[in-house]
Amino acid sequence: MAIVVNPAHAWFNEARYGLFIHWGPYAVLGRGEQVLNREWLDQNEYADMACAWNPQHYNPEEWMEVAVRGGMKYAILTTRHHDGYCLWDTKTTDYSSMCQAPKRDFIMPYVKACRKSSLKVGLYYSFMDFRLPAWTRGPAKDPEGFAEAKLCATN
């Protein structure tokens, strides 16, 4: 069987080297983006920490300068990871950087910095949300909850 490559994706194979940035409230804890689920943290305590998160030294232009010096051709930023916290002004939840302590959109400055540096822009969005118990229980243990979580993730 031959592998068919979409010509629109050829740049990715040619780029070969890029930056994938996992960044959000979980960075405060310094133990990775999966800390909420992996360490079974209390959801309410984590949400309080996430809503108080207010990075003062966010500088995507500096990030992109470093990426270019390192020979990278693209950058990908998590816009929403499995903790469900959104880094832009979304109308679907107030669990976002616009509604909580930062009161700012982190995605647009990142996109502008990528473009200014001639890096391809990548955005990562996780449908999974650790705040919904069905995601961790799975469809076998919570079929109704899992169906609802899937519906939320696809609408």
Report the b/e string of 34-72 with b at 16+ CB within 10 A.
ebbeeeebeeeebbebbbebebeebebeebbeebbeeeb
Let me know if residue 26 belongs to a domain: yes
Let me know if residue 64 belongs to a domain: yes
Number of domains in the chain: 1
- Write the pLDDT tens digit of every residue in 10-47: 888 899 999 999 998 878 777 767 777 777 777 888 78
Strand 74-80 and strand 19-21: the pairing is: parallel
Nearest to 24 by CA among 125, 133, 132, 140: 125
- Write the pLDDT tens digit of every residue in 46-77: 788 888 989 999 999 999 999 999 999 999 99
Q: Within 10 A of 27 (CB to CB), how many other CB atoms are there?
A: 15
What is the CATH number for 46?
3.20.20.80
Let me know if residue 5 belongs to a domain: no
Let me know if residue 71 belongs to a domain: yes
Let me know if residue 83 belongs to a domain: yes
Let me know if residue 21 belongs to a domain: yes
Let me know if residue 63 belongs to a domain: yes
> Residue 155: pLDDT band by 50, 70, 90 thresholds?
low
Domain limits at 44? 12-154
